């Protein structure tokens, strides 16, 4: 397809321009899709504010990575999809050939192929991602809910890795989109979830929409002890950190019971460190683990959860913006207003 499209173009941190650019041209092994719904994301907000070393490798560049779309052009070698298909996928795919992939640690692939451009009218989907991490959307699933696939896959990966069992008390620190997804999945698993956040607004969402067991406001100096008390005094069985602040990592370690597990899921800035009470860490046999990104298995599982209604995607949608107002939507997320906003390239009167 020849011609121009509207897109949000990243030039430098804080410099994103809504302008016309060329519609991407596809190879014989790729597809061109028309974006029907994109979503705001904390990663895209960080990219806007300070750039991104892997997603944005040259400028100017389109950006954004959570979207659902319709196929408008198909390379001659592509048989998996046809024009008119409703499709959604992840923003990366592992190479399956590096040492980490051979050890089945696909989220640690050293050759991850990236896809961005959600905040555009059209996106060309690379062949490798198309092959391993792209799917047709069931007819009953709205585009904006299907677009939750990538972040949900990350949370599914995290929950799959932690030893949380039915009846366990699990504290989740951070009631942003990813934190709420962890809460959603853990409640679904039968855990008693305690939501911890600085915002009463977000804590109310966690309680009213996602069925958490208790809420604790982290503004209080006593919030760590409050979580421990809610868990019988000794601490939570599992603590999930979903904020990306090193002091919160430390708080999470102090919330967990002896023999418990702390999942550090929120990514911190390069060069940041934490301080751990080594005696507590050693003699209480605390497990501190990290989980990053997603794998093709968890992407597929996330789509099943959205498709069968076990995860109600509508609960995460806080409003709608046209493509030209993308930065306004991201800034709203930066002010912790709402959960996720839908960006509609075709415009909206919602």
The pLDDT value recorded for residue 53 is 77
| Mean pLDDT within 286-310 | 97
- pLDDT tens track for 32-51: 999 999 999 988 998 999 88
Rounded to two decimals, the pTM is 0.96
Q: Say if residue 217 is in the same domain as residue 307.
A: no
Domain range holding 179? 163-290
Structure tokens at 140: 């009953």
Task: Specify the 3-state DSSP secondary structure of 195.
Answer: strand
Q: How many angstroms separate the Cα of 303 from the Cα of each of 44, 91, 307, 311?
A: 22, 14, 6, 9
Please report whether residue 349 resides in a domain. Answer: no
pLDDT at 342 exceeding the cut of 50: yes
Mean pLDDT of 188-200: 97
User: What is the structure's pLDDT at 349?
Assistant: 58
Q: What is the mean pLDDT of the chain?
A: 96
| Residues 145, 14 share a domain | yes
Same domain, 123 and 29: yes
- CATH number of the domain enclosing 201: 3.40.50.720
pLDDT value for 350: 46
Per-residue pLDDT, averaged over 201-218, amounts to 97
Split at pLDDT 50, 70, 90, the class of 269 is confident
User: Could you tell me if residue 100 is inside a domain?
Assistant: yes
pLDDT tens digits for range 69-127:
999 999 999 999 999 999 999 999 999 999 999 999 999 999 999 999 999 999 999 99
DSSP H or E segment with residue 258? strand 256-264
Decide if 233 is inside a domain. Answer: yes
Determine the pLDDT at residue 348: 67
On whether both 218 and 318 belong to a single domain, the answer is no
Q: How far is Cα 38 from Cα 44, in angstroms, rounded to an integer?
A: 11
**Are both 178 and 242 inside the same structural domain?**
yes
- Measured CA distances, 57 to 36, 53, 54, 105, 346 (Å): 25, 6, 6, 24, 28
b/e 53-79 (16+ beta carbons within 10 angstroms → b): eebbeeebbbbbbbbbbebebbbeebe
């Amino acid at each position: 397809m020849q011609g121009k499209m509207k897109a949000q173009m990243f030039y430098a941190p804080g410099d994103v321009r809504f302008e016309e650019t060329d519609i991407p041209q596809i190879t014989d092994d790729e597809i061109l899709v028309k974006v029907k719904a994109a979503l705001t994301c904390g990663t895209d907000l960080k990219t806007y504010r300070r750039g991104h070393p892997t997603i944005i490798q040259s400028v100017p560049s389109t950006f954004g990575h959570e979207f659902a779309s319709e196929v408008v052009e198909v390379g001659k070698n592509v048989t998996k999809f046809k024009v008119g298909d409703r499709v959604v996928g992840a923003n990366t795919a592992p190479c399956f050939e590096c040492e980490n992939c051979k050890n089945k640690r696909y989220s640690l692939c050293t050759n991850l192929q990236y896809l961005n451009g959600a905040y555009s009218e059209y996106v060309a989907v690379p062949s490798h991602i198309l092959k391993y991490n792209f799917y047709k959307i069931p007819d009953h699933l709205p585009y904006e809910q299907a677009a939750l696939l990538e972040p949900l896959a990350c949370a599914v990966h995290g929950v799959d890795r932690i030893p949380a069992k039915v009846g366990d008390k699990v504290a989740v620190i951070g009631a942003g989109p990813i934190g709420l997804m962890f809460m959603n999945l853990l409640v679904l698993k039968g855990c008693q979830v305690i939501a911890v956040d600085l915002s009463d607004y977000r804590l109310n969402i966690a309680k009213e929409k996602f069925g958490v067991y208790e809420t604790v406001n982290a503004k209080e100096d006593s919030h760590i002890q409050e979580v421990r008390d809610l868990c019988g005094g000794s601490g939570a069985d599992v603590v999930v950190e979903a904020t990306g602040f090193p002091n919160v990592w430390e708080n999470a370690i102090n919330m967990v019971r002896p023999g418990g597990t702390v999942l550090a899921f929120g990514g911190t800035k390069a060069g940041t460190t934490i301080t751990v009470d080594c005696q507590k860490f050693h003699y209480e046999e605390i497990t501190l683990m990290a989980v990053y990104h997603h794998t093709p298995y968890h992407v597929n599982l996330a789509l099943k959860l959205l498709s069968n209604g076990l995860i109600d995607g509508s609960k995460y949608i806080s409003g709608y913006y046209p493509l030209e107002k993308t930065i306004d939507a991201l800034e709203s997320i930066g002010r912790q207003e709402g959960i996720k906003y839908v960006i509609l390239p075709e415009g909206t009167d919602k």
